[in-house]
Structure formats: structure tokens, C-alpha cells
Amino acid sequence: MLCSRGTDDKSELGVLRNKISPDDVISGVHGSADHDQVERDMDFFFPAERTVAAIKPNIVEKSGEIKEEIKKLGITILSEKKVALSGEQAAKFYEDQKERDFFGDLCRYMSSGETTFLVLSSDNVVEKWRRAMGPADPTEGKELAPHSLRAKLGEDILKNGLHGSSNVEHALKSIDLIFGGCFEGTPPEDNPSSTVITVVEISDETD
């Protein structure tokens, strides 16, 4: 990475810069200035896997509690967006489920109130988040993974409280759909990883 340098820099990195490019004002060596810069540089040069999490209408009031649990897993929350989905938007978000018998009920449920969408980032985050959620059916989860979030917070297989992308490809598609301009309230272009909380009230004309 190219960066400007000062000739009076006496640090080890400065000495190395002077040896590599003693006559240039642009250096061929870069070093992160602090720990926060290290994290930003790592995310820029070696981006971690990302996924979308959705906190559904029946437990959206527990968003703060759930975000704390996410952070305990070592997962970074890159962006946040609160949306009142229309039936049409819910159908678009779950279009891979459109052949399932419960599709209509799912869309009505997801358009019944606000949903908090999160972009999560860490190594193997798709699998990590799905494991934290537990089985889709909270009743099954109470037996197989009693400490999972759906087992503790979900009501039934429809109102299980949480969504997570099934794979990396699906995650990227969902990030583009929710945060890429298809819905209102996208993060600022000059800082796409900043936290944005936007409540969008949209009338549902499809029901």
C-alpha cells in the first residue's frame, strides 16, 4: 500500500521506508497506526465472511439483548437497519421459499411489524450464526439445542424469531437486497460499514 512518509520519522517503520524509497515522497510500506486501524485494515485487505441476520417482528423488542449475544460470539455487527416490510418486500426477501406451503403465512407474519436486519462479520459467520440460532423449530431446539436463541425466544416454526442466510451466496444477495438500495435507508456511501438505524413505514398493497 502506498502512503506518504516524513523524512524525520525515526521509528523502525520510518527507517525501513527511507531504505526502500529514500528519494520519494510516496512510500511503498504501510503500517497501521493503532489497534482500531489494524481492524479496519484487516477488514479492507482480508475481508471476513458476512451474513444477514433478521430479528423478526415477534421478538424485535429484544434486539438489544440479541445484539449483545452476537457480540459475545466474537461476531462484528457492521450495519443495522430496522424496516417495516410490506407483503411484497417480504415475498422478495423469501423468494427462495415461494413454493413452500407456508409461504403466504410467512410473508404475512414478516409484514406484521418491524424487523431488525443486521450485517454480521467474522470467520465462518454463516455457520456460526446459524448454530447460535439453533433449529428452525423452537420445540425441536428445546430438545437438541436448549441454549440456542430460537429455543429460548421463538414461539413456533413460523414465529421462530430469527433468520440467518443459508450460505455465503445467499448472504451476499440478502445484503444487496436489504442494504444495497432496494429498500430505503441504506448506509452512507462514504462509510458503508457504519451503523444505520432507519425505520421505514411502508403501506402494504399486496394483501
What amino acid positions are annotated as catalytic residues?
163
d(CA 184, CA 154) in angstroms, rounded, equals: 28
C-alpha cell at 19: 531504505
Q: Are 21 and 3 in contact (CB under 8 A)?
A: no
Residues ≥6 apart with Cβ < 8 Å to 204: 86, 87, 88, 111
**Helix, strand or coil for residue 54?**
strand
To 10 degrees, the CA torsion angle through 96, 99, 100, 106? 60
The set of residues, in sequence order, having a beta carbon less than 8 Å from that of 10 and lying 6+ positions away, is none
